[in-house]
Each structure stands twice: as structure tokens, then as C-alpha cells.
Chain A
Amino acid sequence: MSAVISPAPHVSGVKTAADALLQPMRYTSRAYRRMTLLLLMVIGWAMFCFIYQAMVGLGVTGLRRPVFWGFFITDFVFWIGISHAGTLISAILRLTNATWRYPVTRAAEAITVFALMIGGLFPMVHLGRPWFFYWLAPYPTERMIWPNFRSPLEWDFFAISTYLTASTLYLYLPMLPDLALARDRSRGWRHRLYRFLSMSWQGTQVQWRRLELAIQLMAAVVIGIAVSVHTIVSWDFAMSVVPSWHSTIFGPYFVAGAIFSGIAALIVIMAILRRVYHLEAYLQPKHFSNLGKLLLTMTLLWGYFVTAEMITTWYGNLPDEMGTFWSKVSGHYAWLFWTMVLCNFIIPFPLLAIRKLRTIGGTVIASCTILVGMWLERFIIVVPGAASQRLSFNRWYGYYPHWTEISISLATLCAMTLLYMLFTKVFPIISIWELGATKHSAPAAVEE
């Protein structure tokens, strides 16, 4: 055990808070190891499924003409949506200077990075020939073949890679002072790692000023990127000629849905962190209540968007779009549609609107149903739209996911959990310096 974060503070003036927050990095329980093993097994199984699918052909999925997109694209949109948890929420809270944000931001920013990593895999997972995924990248070849810059899928490539870069930077920058703290308190490989990552952070006035400026800048930039990314994801659908996909509302609708599911994911993860790492003192009921209020706003906004989308379709009564409409409202996909409404609005609304119910338990229940509901929402957009073709000859409501799709979808949850668990072991999951717990804390003048 060469890598140790020393439990005894040898830097004078360190408060116990820093120790409590570094505790998850010091100690690994047996349950943690067992959980890691279990998650790795599920992820390994999903990898086998992916290789099997690539070797045998995508026919092992339930996809068939005209439902060319199904679970994988649903997962893609869902996880890119979850990624809006982080960055967007933390950036907005930072720019509006909401001081209650301190214990929340890093947990949120980490969600963004991991959700993007997972979501960004799906455009490759769902390819017919995934071994040629790099053809989507614009790289110089002697044959002078470029990707098609007119394709929304190509825009996705740039949007997601930009977002991943920006959100990684945005996660990393505010972590610098904490990495320096960990560097000062560790030995072995951890010390070398933190020394490298903390980039000679000494906590001088100049460094603080530059860091603060950089964070502010990144927060502003990242909001713009986050909004554009999910708009572009929505354009995968909106730019097509498929009835019910070709809709101007999709940009804002997807962004709102993304923030909605993102906040829900954040609340769930915060509750787990609080429980597992005994962070009750830092992640307090007021944080859940405040995030619950944000979630309430998004619930209402989501309800508004769905109503606006459905009622204009119904009133317009265009035959091509009504096929999709009725398949959602009373047809083949009605049970999924109404479950979605239940999960996204009917259950969470009272839980979040009534102050007495907006407790940790209440917000977590609401968040869980919202996560289910938002996954269903993505499915309800992708599959019924593809199934309801203009020529009645081609309509097909027979799509059901097969075992590779279900396994890979479930494994995304495991991958998220695993990445998050590993992250908490290497990096402080709650911003120590922002809570003012160390000598590395920013000078009061900068904090304001």
C-alpha cells in the first residue's frame, strides 16, 4: 500500500471538514469491492453482447424496417440528456452566485462527464459496421474522402466531442485546489498523480484570480455548448422528413427534457453519496429542497412542452402525423405514453409542489420516477415516429427489444455507477475549498 492519503493532517490549520471529505478516498469497504466486481461483470457481459452483435449482425436486435432506431438511440438521447445535469446546473448556479451550490457542483459536473462518455458510445454501438466508426471523424486520407458535414449525425460528432472537452475542463478547473490538497496529504502513486494534476497549484493570489476567471469563463461557455448539444441531438430527428419527428419544437423540448432528467439524476446520486459516504453534514435537506424546486420548474416546463406538441398535432389533424399520435395516445404505445405522463408529471408534481413532501425521500422518489419517465419519453419519440410510416404498407408496430439491446442498456446504468464509484475514490466528490474547509480556500475577496 504505497498510495496513502495520510489521515493525520500535517498542515497546520486544517479543519476536520477536509478530513471528512477526503475520507471516501482513504477507505474502501468490502461492499465497495463486491459492488465493483458485480458491476464489472455486468459491463463485461454487455461487451460480449456488443461483440456478438457486431459479429453476427444487428439482426440479433429487435430492430427491423422501418424501425431502424430503437433502444440504442433511446439510450443515446437519454444519456446525453442526463449529461445536462451537471454542467448546466452547476454553471447556472455558479453564474447566478447561488451560494448553496458548493456541495452540489462537483457531483453534478462528474455526472456530465460520465454520462457523455456513455451516451457518446451509442452512435458507435448502434452502427451496422461499428469497426468503421472512425469514418465519421474528419481525418486526412490519401483518398481525400471526408465525412458529410450536412448530416445531423456528423453535427452530433462535433457537438458531443466539444461538450465532452468543455465539461471535462469544467470539472477539472474547480478541482485544482482540492487536488493540491490531496497532493499535500498523500504518498506514493497518488502523490505523483495529484502532483501532476494539480499543476503546481500553490494558492497564490495570482493563481486564485486566474482560476476564478477561468471558471467563470468556462461556466458561461459551457451553458452555450450544453444548450446547443441537445438541440443538435434533437435535430437528428427534427431535420428528418419522418412525420412527428420533423418538428420545430424539438430543440427546446429536448433541452428542457435534458435538464429535467439531469436534475433528477443529480438528486438520486446525491442521496446515494450522502448515505454511503456519510455526508449528511454537507448534503443537507435544503440542497434537496432547492434542487426539488428546480425540478418542479422543469416538471411544469416538460408538461407544457408535451401538451404543446400533442395538441398542435391533434388540432392540425394531418393524416401522416395522426398515425403516430394515435399510436401514442390510444394505440400500440399508449401504455408507455401514459406511464411516461404518470412518471414525469402526475407522481412528481405533488411530491415537489407540496413543501411538506419536498423532503429528501420525496425528491428522490420523484427523481426516480422522472428518470424512468424520461427514458420512456425518448423511446416514445424514437420508436412510434419511425414505426408510423406515410405509406400504410410500411407501418410496423412489431418492434420489441431483444436481449443484446436490454443487456447493453442495463449495462449503461452499471457503467455510470462504476465510473462514479471509481471517481469518488480518486477525487474529492465534494468541493473542499469552496466549503472553506482548508488553507487552500480562496481568499474571502474572491469568494464574495
Chain B
Amino acid sequence: MLNSDSSTNVRPRWAMIVDLNACTGCSACVVACRAENNIPITGPDEAAYNGTIQWMRIERNWKGRDRDFRVENRPVNCQQCDDAPCEPVCPVLATYTNAEGVSVQVYNRCVGTRYCGLNCPYQARFFNWFDYAWPSPLDVQLNPDVSIRTRGIMEKCSFCIQRINAAERQAEREKRPLQADEIQPACAQSCPAQALIFGDIHQPGGRFSQAWKDPGLETLLPEVGTRPKVRYARRVATPRSVLAAAPETPVAEVEA
């Protein structure tokens, strides 16, 4: 019903491809995410003591040595695992994968055992150690579509579920299928290099669902068996657009 192809009744399954060739590490996604999702700024003392909250972060990895030395900027958010280790361990079912494949956190249900945070191999979950404040005029920019979290609960990236829901409701009201590019999470929307590509795996014949099947895409920590819905296009010598058709000849890698 909400799918672009109304003949099939398949719900969308949201996913993201991160193009590491395009990412410059500018951190626009980090800032956009903070603004969109009312993520508190915990201050310099907390930052020095690992007390920051950032649903989207840029991991800077140093690869190679001497003249081959280079930096890889890797945006990491919740990897939206199909087999999410964070979900079964919650004693109060405060986190679960919804019908569209998004691993969601139910703030009102969370009691703060923090077990999910430990069991997330990506450390994509963040705990509200305090009640954080938005001193004026920062409070004016709060997003009314996203609830502010209280102390003592977990939070994490939700693929901007408020945007997904709003777009789906809009499409439903207008009695039309959801358009392919209608939904953009804040990070993808703000990425100047278009390194973050968001889409629906289930969209038949769509550019995103085709690109998603590219065997060259890799996941973070595949050995944990989490089957993430965020895939990375690793850096190669002759980069191409992630959404372009698969090339005839394999591309050489810069460095393993």
C-alpha cells in the first residue's frame, strides 16, 4: 500500500549505502543529525570523559604506512541490523525491529539496564547520563517531531523515523504510492558529497535496490553476524558512482 509498486503489497525495508570514496569527513551529517533528532550537547567535560551522544559519528581510520598512508573517514550510525544483538537482551522489550526493518528504541519503555549498549558491537547506542539542557536560544531550534529523552534511557539512530512516518502518512492521505526519493534522513540530506544514500531494498527495479545487491559492498564487523542494513562501498582506485550500473571489469583496490 505504501510501496511505490502498488501491485505488490510489500512493506518497504529501509537501508543505507555509505560511499567511502565520496565521504570527505566533513561531519555535516553529524551536525544535521544532532539538529534533526534533538540530540543534546553534553559539554566539554563530558566529551573528555566519553560522555558524548552522537547518533552519527565519523570514525577516522589510518591505513597503510609511509608514502601509502591515507585516512579513511567512515560515517558510523546504528547499522540497523537484521539480527540486532541489542534487541533480545532488553528485559522490557524497549527495542525491536519494526515492520519496515528499522531497529527502533521505545523511549517510554526503556528502564536503562544499558545491556543493549554493551551488546551493540558498533557502540551505536547512547545513554542519557543526565537530563541535558538546551540553554536559550538553543531550545528554539528543537525539532517538535522528535521527543526529548529524559535521563536514564538509551537512544540511537532511527533512520529519522519521524521523516519516514510523515512521508508515509502524506502519501496515504494523497492516496498515492510513496515516491522513491521522497524520504531522506537528515544525514543523507545534508551530505554535500552524497556519500550517504538512503533507500528501500524492497522497491522493485529501483536504483537503490539494484545498487544494494552489489557484491562489492561490505558491512562493518561481518564476523558478528548482525546482517546490517548499512553497507559500505569501500575506497577504490577508480571510484564510480554507487548508483551506477555494475562495471564490466573489476576495479583494483588501493589497499586491502
A148 contacts B85, C-beta separation under 8 Å: no
Of residues 355 through 391 on chain A, the ones whose CB sits less than 8 Å from some CB of chain B are 386, 389-391
Complex: how many Å from CA A127 to CA B127? 11
19 new A-B contacts, CB < 8 A, other than A65-B117, A128-B153, A133-B111, are A59-B46, A59-B51, A59-B151, A65-B125, A65-B127, A66-B118, A69-B118, A128-B111, A136-B91, A145-B109, A147-B91, A147-B92, A152-B115, A153-B89, A236-B115, A241-B224, A390-B224, A391-B122, A398-B49
User: Which residue in chain A gives the minimum CB-CB distance to B89?
Assistant: A151
Q: How far is the CA of A130 from the CA of B150 in the complex (A)?
A: 13
A59 surroundings in chain B (CB, below 8 A): 46, 51, 129-130, 151
In the complex, what's the smallest C-beta–C-beta distance from A70 to chain B, in angstroms?
Answer: 10
B152 touches A239 (CB 8 A): no
What is the bound-complex CA distance between A127 and B111, given in angstroms? 6
Give every chain B residue within 8 A of A153 (Cβ-Cβ): 89, 91, 113, 115
B153 contacts A129, C-beta separation under 8 Å: yes
Q: Say whether B119 contacts A147, CB under 8 Å.
A: no
Least Cβ–Cβ distance between A39 and chain B, in angstroms: 29
Chain B residues with Cβ under 8 A from A133's Cβ?
Answer: 111
Q: Give the nearest-CB partner of A239 in chain B.
A: B89
A residues bordering B, Cβ < 8 Å?
54, 56-59, 63-66, 68-69, 123, 126-130, 132-133, 135-136, 145-148, 150-154, 157, 236, 239-242, 386, 389-391, 393-394, 396, 398
Chain B residues contacting A63 (CB-CB under 8 Å) are 129
A63 shortest CB reach to chain B, Å: 8
List chain A residues, Cβ under 8 A from B2: none
Distance to closest chain B CB from A395 (angstroms):
10
Instruction: Say yes or no: is B93 at the interface (Cβ < 8 Å to chain A).
Output: yes
* CB contact under 8 A between A65 and B50, given known A57-B128, A129-B110, A391-B59: yes
Q: Choose one: A57, A135, A148, A394; the contact of B123 (CB below 8 Å).
A: A394
Beta-carbon nearest neighbor of B126 in chain A: A65
Determine the chain B residues whose CB is within 8 A of the CB of A157 once the complex forms: 91
Whether the Cβ atoms of B123 and A389 lie closer than 8 Å is yes
The interface residues of chain B lying within 8 Å CB-to-CB of A56 are 130, 151
> Which chain B positions have C-beta within 8 A of A398?
49-50
Contact of A57 among B88, B115, B151, B221 (CB under 8 A): B151
B93 in contact with A57 (CB, 8 Å): no
**Contact yes or no, A128 B128, CB < 8 A:** yes
B103 → A minimal CB distance (Å) = 15
CB distance from A210 to the nearest CB of B (A): 39
Partner of B151, one of A128, A154, A389, A394: A128
Subset of 29 A-B contacts with CB under 8 Å: A57-B131, A57-B152, A58-B129, A58-B151, A59-B129, A59-B151, A64-B49, A65-B51, A66-B118, A68-B118, A126-B113, A127-B113, A128-B153, A129-B110, A129-B111, A133-B111, A136-B111, A145-B93, A145-B109, A147-B93, A151-B89, A151-B91, A236-B115, A241-B119, A241-B224, A386-B118, A390-B121, A391-B76, A394-B123
Contacts of B50 in A (CB 8 A): 64-66, 396, 398
Point out the residues of chain B lying under 8 angstroms from A68, CB to CB: 114-115, 117-118, 127
Option from B90, B91, B123, B151 in Cβ contact (under 8 Å) with A391 = B123
Residues of A within 8 A of B221 (CB): 390-391
**Nearest CB in chain A: distance from B188 CB, A:** 22
- A271 and B125 CA atoms in complex are apart in Å by 48
Most buried by A among B76, B110, B129: B129
Q: What are the nearest 6 A-B pairs in CB distance? A: A128-B112, A128-B152, A59-B129, A68-B114, A57-B151, A57-B130
In the bound complex, residues from chain A placing their C-beta under 8 Å from that of B118 are 66, 68-69, 240, 242, 386
What does DSSP make chain B's interface, helix, strand, loop or mixed? loop
Query: Could you tell me if A132 and B127 are in contact, using CB atoms closer than 8 angstroms?
Result: no
A399 to chain B, nearest CB (A): 9
Known contacts A58-B152, A129-B112, A136 near B92 by CB under 8 Å: yes
CB distance from B240 to the nearest CB of A (A): 27
Bound Cα distance A153, B152 (Å): 17
- Pairwise interchain contact B51-A64, C-beta atoms closer than 8 A: yes
Complex CA–CA separation, A391 to B221 (angstroms): 8
B129 adjacent to A64 (CB under 8 Å): yes
Task: Give a binary string over B21-56; 1 marks a CB under 8 Å from any A CB, 0 the rest.
Answer: 000000000000000000000000010011100000
CA distance A109 to B220 in the complex (A): 50
Residues of A within 8 A of B151 (CB): 56-59, 128-129
Q: How far is the CA of A58 from the CA of B90 in the complex (A)?
A: 18
